[in-house]
Structure 1
């Protein structure tokens, strides 16, 4: 049996991989068309059906952590008291205290927004505003002539301009990053894009978190 030179075999392998990747990409592109049918087909391919992405109708049907014996962990059980507490916290503006002036925040705006400020009940609690301001924003939206609620907030006039070039019509240019986006400098010299939940973790003495420590907040949205 004659052996092909290594360069030819590599070339053949590259050709096969190129064709394979092209076919895969073509299939994904076809599934990612503009129609709802194509979108659902793509979801089926990725996760095995859109039903797996739907929120159950009742809280009792939500997947819960299990104990070693297989029974639901009571610590994570949904109760009426927990539901009511969550609702209160969702609409509690006193928790809005992360105002950082060096990144454009105005301290006087602290305590003026909650989760419900952006996630509006009128819009099924989704954050669907074009300008998504919590602290530093005002308004909720309006109802059009057909009775549709349009979520719409606007920035307060005292917010500083942080950018010169608008990214879209109506851009107020008062934010440098998307909401809840943080950029950290890590102890190993690299940078990481994350959320405020990252904080300066891992905390001193935490041996379970093996990530490099976040030692400096470089920017926040």
Structure 2
């Protein structure tokens, strides 16, 4: 592998793919598509559909591989390190010795809460790594609700459900975006004066969104999230919370 191209493909809508991304797909020798189990087969199908649109049905360059699973029983950081090592090995094995320019289609953008760049750094020998930016879940959420990300001249913070649960709302921002939250960590907060905008499967046909005062819509989000995950076998969601400005 001489070059690895990480292509941001947005949040599930094939129209999110940029012209730069389409060019990268067309010029790659090989396109790796991860399989994440039967419950998430539609994620691989969507990657294949994007490639089919660009390549006109020519799928000879597409190679699927089984994505290793993370050990959730061990220490979190140690488990992630071992998982990333395993994924890097899977990439190398799937690419094989012949392909020089290998592409991976990355949900959202490779720069935001995605470990593809860190995994790529583990490849040996190290290839040249190129990144094609994509639409993030954060952008798709704000677009779906028709809201600005930040208030005038004010900062915002992007964090994870784990950190929100363990550390609470940071004092440095009145607007908080939460990703990778499998347990609706917003339930640990005092909902007084907080508005929440939530979305799942953003950009996909299954897209669902809810917004309103957290005290009112929080329980509804928990219920809808559980139902959607049970129906599809997986869920990708994100939410933005904003505290009312005092005075």
- The TM-score with structure 1 as length reference comes to 0.24
Structure with the higher helix share, 1 or 2: 2
- The TM-score with structure 2 as length reference comes to 0.22
Structure with the higher strand share, 1 or 2: 2
Rg larger in structure: 1
